[in-house]
Chains A and B, each alone.
Chain A
Amino acid sequence: AQSVTQPDIHITVSEGASLELRCNYSYGATPYLFWYVQSPGQGLQLLLKYFSGDTLVQGIKGFEAEFKRSQSSFNLRKPSVHWSDAAEYFCAVARMNSGGYQKVTFGTGTKLQVIP
């Protein structure tokens, strides 16, 4: 089954430091991959997405992610973290069910804590 794995449950970084959140996927064909961010008690906001083409994708809020087929990874990065980036981050994959409809499945999430 197609899925995504986020190996880090919780990450703490200092404000201004660089950030990398890991995501690994399992899927036979080219996956449709997303990163979402969720602030406490809020809905999810799409940061960026990868469907095909350039493997380095730029998103909102200064985030980027790199698709690496050889490593089955889609890691999220930011060169300098701001305190407002503290949130839960979800990697997600879109797959097609037998009826042709998309189903988006989320990883278990990585909680980011930013310290001064």
Chain B
Amino acid sequence: DTEVTQTPKHLVMGMTNKKSLKCEQHMGHRAMYWYKQKAKKPPELMFVYSYEKLSINESVPSRFSPECPNSSLLNLHLHALQPEDSALYLCASSQSPFVTTANYGYTFGSGTRLTVV
């Protein structure tokens, strides 16, 4: 299995809703990432999990809450979002969280298209 699977593919939520995005990989990767991508922009890093522990939070608002229940699963809990949070949310994983020559780059999921109304 060489894929990162994200569900759901599309999500529409109101500003008072609570929802969760799910990401799963079975490649034995020890680092997992959440990226946010607005239209016609590059992906921007939100969170990094290394060995199931949060290692980087790029000053993301608290209405986004990540969770890593185990080494294969990464969730992003959403609460009280704003319309400007509408974007493509990408999950990625890598063999190692460190910059090494053995690191083969990121494997990305196909993303969740989130619309906040």
Binding site for B on A (CB under 8 A): 32, 34, 36, 41-46, 49, 51-52, 90, 94-97, 99-109
Contacts and interface: CB of A to CB of B under 8 A. Distances in A.
A45 B103 contact: no
A42 B111 contact: yes
Nearest to B9: A41
A101 B88 CA distance: 24
A43 B110 contact: yes
A46 B99 contact: no
Interface in B1-43: 4, 6, 31, 40-43
Contacts, number: 70
B43 A103 contact: no
Interface residues of B, number: 31
A6 B97 CA distance: 26
A99 B55 contact: yes
Contacts of A104: 45, 106
Contacts of A34: 105
Contact of A101 (B43, B97, B106, B107): B97
Nearest to B33: A104
Given A34-B105, A45-B108, A101-B56, A96 B99 contact: yes
Nearest to A111: B40
B99 A43 contact: no
Contacts of A109: 40-42
Contacts of B43: 44, 90, 106
A41 B56 contact: no
B111 to A, nearest CB: 5
The winner among B42, B56, B88, B104 for most chain A CB atoms within 10 A is B42
